[in-house]
Amino acid sequence: MANDILVLSIIVLIYLALVIYVGYVAWRRTKSADDYMVAGRTTHPFIMALSYGATFISTAAIVGFGGTAGVYGMGLLWLTFLNILVGIFIAFVFFGKRTRKIGHNLSALTFPEFLSKRFNSRFIQYFSGAVIFLGMPLYAAVVLIGMARFVETTLNINYNFALVALAVIVALYVIFGGIRGVMYTDALQGTIMFVVMAILLVAIYWITGGVIAGNEALTNLVNVVPAKATATATATGFTGWTSMPTFGSPFWWTLVSTLILGVGIGVLSQPQLAVRFMTVKSNKELNRAVLIGGVFIFLMTGTAFIVGALSNVYFFDSMGKIAMQVVGGNADKIIPAFIAMALPVWFAYLFMITLLSAAMSTLSAQFHVQGTALGRDVYETVSGKKGGASVMVARLGITVAVVIAVILGFLLPANIIAVGTAMWFSITAGAFLTMYAFACFWKRSTKAGVISGLVVGTVISLFWIVFEYKKSAEALGICKALTGQSVLITAQPWPTVDSIVIALPIAFILTVVVSLLTKPPSKELIDKSFSGV
C-alpha cells in the first residue's frame, strides 16, 4: 500500500509540475486581449490540433460515452466515424479555413463576436454569449463528474472533495493564462491521453483473447447473459453488443439521434472548438492539423467505446454479470470499475492522469469560452467598454462558471454524463449551427434570417430538452413538477427523439425563408467578410 501511494504521488507531482510550468510559460506570453482570447493568431498546427482534440475529448467521452458503450455496444463506433468526418475533416478543411479568414477580416476574438460582425448585429453577440454562459455549465459539470467518479471508484477519495479540487486547479491556470494557457496545457495533456489510451486498447484485447476472439465473445454474450437482463434489453430494441438496435426502437432512437447525431453533428457548433480556428496564421496550419486531429480522435473515442463494450466480456467471465449489473445500474461507473478490477494499480494511476488531462483540457476551454462570453460578448457589447475591463470581467466570469459547474456536480443525478454532454451539443446545434454554416458559406443570408433561426432554434432545443426528451426531462424534473408527468407526449418515439432532430431542421428552414424575404446584406459587408476567402 505504501508503495502504491508513493507511485501515485510521484506520477501526480510530475504531472502537476509539467502543467504548472506550461501554464507559467503561457502566462508570460499573454500580453494583450488578442493573446488572451485567440493566442495572437500564431499557434503551431501541432498545438492547435492537440488542443482541439483534447478539448473535444473529455472525461464525458471516455467515462460517460465509454460507459454508455457498455450498454449500447459497438454501434457507438458510428460516432467515432462522424467525429472524424465531421468534427475533424469537414470542420478543419471547410469551416475552419473560412472561420479563420473571415474572423481575421472582421477582427473577431470570440465565436459570438465572429457571428455578430459577420451579420452586423450586436444582438447576436450578446444573445449567443448568454446562451454559452448560461448553458455550458451543464457540460462542464458532467466533465467534472466524470473525473470525480473515477477518483472516487479507483482511489476511494471522497467524490465531493475530488470535484472541488479539480475545478480549482483548472480555474487557476485559465484565469491567468487565457487561451495560451489553455492551448499549451491542452497539447501536453493530449499527448498523455494518446499514449495511455493506446496502451488501454492493446490491454482490452489482450484481456479478452485478441481482436477476433474478444469480438466473438461479445457477440455470443447476448445468448448467455441472465434471462431477465436479456428480456429487459430486448423489450427496448437491444439486439446485442455488436449489432445495431432494432430500427425505430427506443434504443435505436437514443443511440442514433442523441448519441451519434447529437454529438457527431453538434461538434461543428461548439464555440470552444470553433475559436481555435482563429488562433492559427494560415490555412496551411489547418491542413497540417487534419491528420494529427483525425488520428487523435480515432484513438480516443474508438478506444473508449471498444473498452466499454468489451468490459461486458471481462465482467461476465470473471463475475457472471454484465457491466451494468456490476456497477448497480450506473453506466458512469463502468469504465472506472473495469480499470480498477482488470488492470494493475500502476495503470489505474496512469489512467487517472489521462482522465485528469481529459477533464482539465476540456474544462479549461469551457471555462475560458464562458468567461470570454460574459466579458467580451455580453459585458463589452452592452456597456461599450473595451480592453482591460472586459478581460477582468472575463476572469470574473470564469470564476462564476466554475462555481456553477461545481454546484451542478453536486446536484445532477446518476447516468448523466453522456446525456448531459449530448444535451449541450444539441442546444448549440439548434442555436448556432445554421447561423454558423451560413456565415461561412451563404452570402445571401441576412441578419433577420439568422436571428430568427438563432432564437427559435434555441427556444425549441430548450423546450424539447426540458419537456419532451425523456432522459433529460427526467434528470431535470421541471416537466414533472409543472405537469405531473415526465414528458408531455408519451407516445413513441417522441420521448426518445433528440432535440437536434426537431430544432435544427426548423432553424435551417426558418433562416432560409426569412433571409429570402428580407433585404440582402450590404455589398460592403460581404466584400469585407469574404476578402481573400
Three-class DSSP labels, 448-507: HHHHHHHHHHHHHHHHHHHHCCHHHHHHHCHHHHHHCCCCCCCCCCHHHCCHHHHHHHHH
Q: What is the pLDDT of residue 43?
A: 66
Long-range CB pairs of 347-352, under 8 A, 24+ apart, other chains included: 347/199, 347/200, 347/203, 348/154, 349/7, 349/8, 349/11, 350/11, 350/196, 350/199, 351/150, 351/154, 351/196, 351/200, 352/150, 352/151, 352/154, 352/155
Task: Determine the Cα–Cα distance for residues 467 and 478; give it in Å rounded to an integer.
Answer: 8
DSSP state for residue 277 in the 8-state scheme: G
Long-range CB pairs of 391-398, under 8 A, 24+ apart, other chains included: 391/33, 391/36, 394/36, 395/175, 395/371, 396/371, 397/133, 397/370, 397/371, 397/372, 397/373, 398/171, 398/174, 398/175, 398/367, 398/368, 398/370, 398/371
Taking the mean position of all CA atoms in its chain, how far away is CA 285? 23
Q: What is the pLDDT of residue 389?
A: 61
CB 167 within 8 A of CB 406: yes
Instruction: Assign residue 532 a region (left: φ > 0; alpha: ψ between -120 and 50; beta: otherwise).
Output: left
Q: What is the pLDDT of residue 152?
A: 79
CB 125 within 8 A of CB 381: yes
Q: Look at residue 392 and give its three-state secondary structure.
A: helix
Query: Residues in the chain with pLDDT < 70?
Result: 1-5, 8, 23-44, 154, 173-183, 225-235, 384-391
Q: Which of 60, 47, 94 is nearest to 425 (CA)?
A: 60
Q: What is the pLDDT of residue 28?
A: 64
Task: Determine the Cα–Cα distance for residues 117 and 106; give it in Å rounded to an integer.
Answer: 6
Q: What is the pLDDT of residue 474?
A: 86
Q: Round to the nearest angstrom and report the end-to-end CA distance of the chain.
A: 60
Q: Which of 47, 62, 456 is nearest to 280 (CA)?
A: 47
CATH architecture observed for domain 2-530: Up-down Bundle (1.20)
The strand ranges marked E within 168-226 are: none
Per-residue pLDDT of 183-240, as tens digits, reads 677 777 788 888 999 999 999 999 999 999 999 999 999 887 665 555 556 567 888 8
Q: What is the pLDDT of residue 199?
A: 93
Cβ-Cβ contacts under 8 Å for 363 (sequence gap 6 or more): 58, 140, 143, 144, 166, 167, 170, 405
Residue with cell 488572451: 36
Task: Determine the Cα–Cα distance for residues 467 and 480; give it in Å rounded to an integer.
Answer: 9
Taking the mean position of all CA atoms in its chain, how far away is CA 443? 30
Cα–Cα–Cα angle for 59, 64, 70, rounded to 5 degrees:
135
Residue with cell 458559406: 441
Cα–Cα–Cα angle for 182, 366, 147, rounded to 5 degrees:
90
Q: What is the pLDDT of residue 176?
A: 62
Q: What is the pLDDT of residue 18?
A: 77
